Structure 1
């Protein structure tokens, strides 16, 4: 995967998604990030790029850092935010050439968060999303501890924490895309329970909360 190419494509999709929308649509809440509106989340996405280029990037991407990005742009409209992001794009690509493509993860996750808020599905099978699914399922695995094996089975992708799918104590079956969002803490405990075909997923739920608590309500981007 060319991470810079994937970041650029995602940036263009997000700009097409939010650019030119009426102000009232950009003030709707984002279910995956309920403290933020669409404009707030977009402000964070733009601010992340600006901060990274400036050398201001804590390892944990903590809430104080992300909220500062939003607060600094509280009076910016979408057009202003788009202009800042476009101006930052090439410097950020240069940074990624030298330092790695971590920013592709943020834009990939949050593109789908925005799509869920705006009811505009798309980009559900990109190379970036597939690569991020592998990264995050590894994080889930680290949180499982001594729990018996669990299998995640999609249409064409599957994963098992140990052994074979047939022998796993718990089997969760959903679409490839939903499983990708699940391992990124973007699906509720209720959704994971609904998709469980074998065993009891309850003891495993905390392992899916790698980006914070699981959402209180079911999430979808379709």
Structure 2
């Protein structure tokens, strides 16, 4: 599994690469985060980085007034560079939720800009593992049997305890977006299920995630 201090800077590079050379996108809405613009999304990413930095004993920059996209990218990189070193010293696993959050929002940003998801990304596997753990806890808490998640390429994960009672199959990107609350209940039900999906659909609401009322990207 890729350590956090490798995956996190790749997300930052990916987000910067999406926005460099795209002036005028700062007010563009991000459909996966209905109340946010591109600027709001970047502000969130920078703020989360600052909070994690402080939890690891670092010192975040002094608060600033409203910042535009270039300044937010620079602030995030400044904080992120410090975080990379601290995460490496901590063994490379203590920032996995932050990495998942950042990678998920990189995908949100790509969808908002009409850019395809990356074919490969070092943050994908560790982020997927965090999301599967979250779904597992939700399935167990609801007293449901385990669910097998299988990508179209043949990768497989088990969410919940015990032998899976059903399998849901989809391209890996669609599975990821489903786990991260970016697919509606209708989209979830339309995936390839080996059994009726209804009993498992409520389990896709957990933590900060829930299926949106309208179809996602």
What TM-score, normalized by structure 2, do the two folds share? 0.81
Within 1, Cα distance between the matches of 2:205 and 2:119? 21
Deviation, 1:92, is 1.6
Shift in CA distance, 201/74, structure 1 to aligned 2, threshold 3 Å: farther
Deviation, 1:217, is 1.9
Within 1, Cα distance between the matches of 2:65 and 2:201? 35
- What is residue 15 of structure 1 aligned with on the other side? 16
Q: Is the 8 A contact 1:125 1:177 kept in 2?
A: no
Deviation, 1:85, is 1.8
Gaps of 5+ in 1: 58-71
Q: Is the 8 A contact 2:4 2:84 kept in 1?
A: no
SS in 2 for 1:36: coil
> For 1:44-74, what per-residue CA distance to the aligned partner results, in whole angstroms no more than 9, with x for missing partners?
11222223323499xxxxxxxxxxxxxx777
- Give matches, 1:5-154, under 5 Å: 5-23=6-24, 25-55=25-55, 75-99=66-90, 100-102=94-96, 103-144=98-139, 145-154=142-151
Aligned residues between the structures: 201
Shift in CA distance, 127/93, structure 1 to aligned 2, threshold 3 Å: closer
SS in 2 for 1:203: coil
- What is residue 157 of structure 2 aligned with on the other side? 159
SS in 1 for 2:199: helix
Deviation, 1:14, is 0.5
Deviation, 1:123, is 2.4
Within 1, Cα distance between the matches of 2:64 and 2:189? 39
Gaps of 5+ in 2: 58-62
What TM-score, normalized by structure 1, do the two folds share? 0.80
Within 1, Cα distance between the matches of 2:15 and 2:55? 24
Q: Is the 8 A contact 2:100 2:130 kept in 1?
A: no
Deviation, 1:196, is 3.7
